[in-house]
Amino acid sequence: MGIYDFHKNCFPVFFAGKFFFALTGAFVMEIQKDYLRYAVELSKELLQIHSPGGYTVNAIDRLKKEFDSLGIKYTETNKGAIYGTIEGKNTEKHRVVSAHADTLGAMVRQIKPSGCLKLAPIGGIAFNSIEGETLYIITRTGKIITGTGLPEKASVHIFENIEKEERNGETFEVRLDADTSSKEETLKLGINVGDFVAFEPRTVETPEGYIKSRHLDDKACIGMMFAVCKYLKEKNEKPAYTTHFFISNYEEIGHGFYGIPKECFEVLAVDIGTVGGLQNSDEHAVTIIAKDSRTPYDFGFRHRLEELAIKNGINYRTDVMFRYGSDSSMYVLQGFDINFACAGPGVSATHHYERTHLDAFKATIDLIYAYTMEELKCF
C-alpha cells in the first residue's frame, strides 16, 4: 500500500473516552494524584544516576528492576538497550514507544602537565553550560573523583577581559578535587585518557511545579513512559497493539534505536520539545514535532497524535525543530521501513540547565496513554 493510501484508509477510532473524557475522567484524575507523582519521582531518581552516552549500565540496571517490579518482561539487546513488552489486543502488529537513558557527558581527552584535564564532548554540549559545575570522573575501576569545570583563565584577579575568552574544548579544563599538580600525580589517582565524565544534575522541584535539572533530556521522558506502563499493568488494561517500551542508550550520539521485533510498524520517540527563541513549544504542554533538522515526521502519524490531543483535551503544541534529531528520525534515516513520530514535554534551556513543568509531565503521559490505546481501522 502506498503512503497516500495508508493515510487515506487508516485513522483513529479510539478516543479514550472511558478514561479521558470529558476531560475529568478517572484516568486523568488518577494520573494527577498518583501516576504523575510516580513519573516525577522515578525521573528524579534516574537523574542522580550518571549515564553519559557510552556509560549507561547503571541507569539501565535500575530500569530493569523497574520493569521487574511492574511485572513486565524485558529484552536486552547486544548493545545494552532494553525494551519491556506489554501484550496488546492485536498481537500480530506491534508498536514501539521509546525514550533514552543516555545523557550528555564528556570523556577525558588529555591529562595536562598541570594535572588538570581536557575533555572531549559526548553529545551536543556547550562548554560554557558546565562552567563552574561539579564534574564526576569515572575511572576504569569505577572509582569516582570530582572536579570543577573551568576556563583556563578563570580568575579576574589574574587575567584581563576573561569574559571575552572563548569557552571551547581548547580553553576549558577540569580542576580536580585532589592533590595533584602534574600529569604523573593525576595518573596515580587512577585517572586515564578515555575515562567518562558526568555532570552534576542539580535537580530541583519548586513549589510552583517546575522541575529543573540537567538531563531532563531524556530522563524525564523515561519517567513519563513508565507511568503509562505502571497504569496499564495496575489497571489490567491492554494497549491496542502489543507495545514495546524501548530504553535506548546511544541517542545523544545518534545510534540509540535498533534491534526491535520485525512485527513493529511504527515508533513514537518520546523526547523533549525545545522552548525559547522562535520555537512554539511550551513548558506547560506536550510538544508534537512536525520536523527536525534531518526530516519531516510522517504527516499522517503526526496528525493522529494532534487529533488524540484535541479529542482528549491535552494541552499540546506542534513545533518545528532547528538543531534536533530523535531516535525515531535517526532510525528511518538508516533505511528501516517503519512509520515514525516524536513528542514530549516542552523544556526550557535544552542541553543546558533545563526546566519543565508538571503540566508538561501530565500532558505527555496523557498523550502516550491515548496513543497506546488508539486503534487503526486498516488493521
CATH number at residue 368: 3.40.630.10
The residue among 355 and 7 whose pLDDT is bigger is: 355
Residue 204 lies in a domain: no
Both 269 and 285 in one domain: the answer is yes
Q: Which band of pLDDT confidence, cut at 50, 70 and 90, is reported for residue 379? A: low
Find the domain containing 181 and state its range: 105-199
Residue 241 lies in a domain: yes
Cell of 20: 479521558
Q: Is 217 flagged in the annotation as binding? A: yes
173-to-92, 103, 194, 260, 367 alpha-carbon distances in Å = 53, 20, 15, 40, 42
Both 191 and 237 in one domain: the answer is no
Residues 111 and 117 sit within 8 Å (Cβ to Cβ): yes
| 251 is a catalytic site residue | yes
Cell of 374: 488508539
Q: Is 61 flagged in the annotation as binding? A: no
> CB-based burial of residue 325 (10 Å sphere; 0-12 exposed, 13-18 middle, 19+ buried)?
buried
Both 330 and 225 in one domain: the answer is yes
Both 244 and 146 in one domain: the answer is no
CATH number at residue 125: 2.40.30.40
Render pLDDT for 103-160 as a digit per residue (tens, 0 to 9): 999 999 999 999 999 999 999 999 999 999 999 999 999 999 999 999 999 999 999 9
Residue 363 lies in a domain: yes
Both 340 and 219 in one domain: the answer is yes
249: DSSP letter: S
Both 251 and 369 in one domain: the answer is yes
pLDDT at site 366: 97
Question: Given 173, 251, 283, 374, which residue is catalytic?
Answer: 251
pLDDT at site 267: 98
Q: Is 359 flagged in the annotation as binding? A: no
The residue among 78 and 29 whose pLDDT is bigger is: 78
The residue among 101 and 13 whose pLDDT is bigger is: 101
Both 159 and 302 in one domain: the answer is no
| Whole-angstrom distance, CA of residue 311 vs CA of residue 84 | 28
Residues 96 and 83 sit within 8 Å (Cβ to Cβ): yes
Both 225 and 278 in one domain: the answer is yes
| Whole-angstrom distance, CA of residue 113 vs CA of residue 159 | 20
Both 136 and 7 in one domain: the answer is no
Q: Residue 254's CB: how many other CB atoms inside 10 A?
A: 15
Residues 275 and 346 sit within 8 Å (Cβ to Cβ): yes
pLDDT at site 177: 99
| Whole-angstrom distance, CA of residue 1 vs CA of residue 6 | 6
Residue 76 lies in a domain: yes
Mean pLDDT, rounded, for 172-193:
99
pLDDT at site 377: 83
Both 25 and 172 in one domain: the answer is no
Q: Is 292 flagged in the annotation as binding? A: no
What are 317's strand-pairing partners?
A: 287
Inform me whether the pLDDT recorded for 378 exceeds 90: no
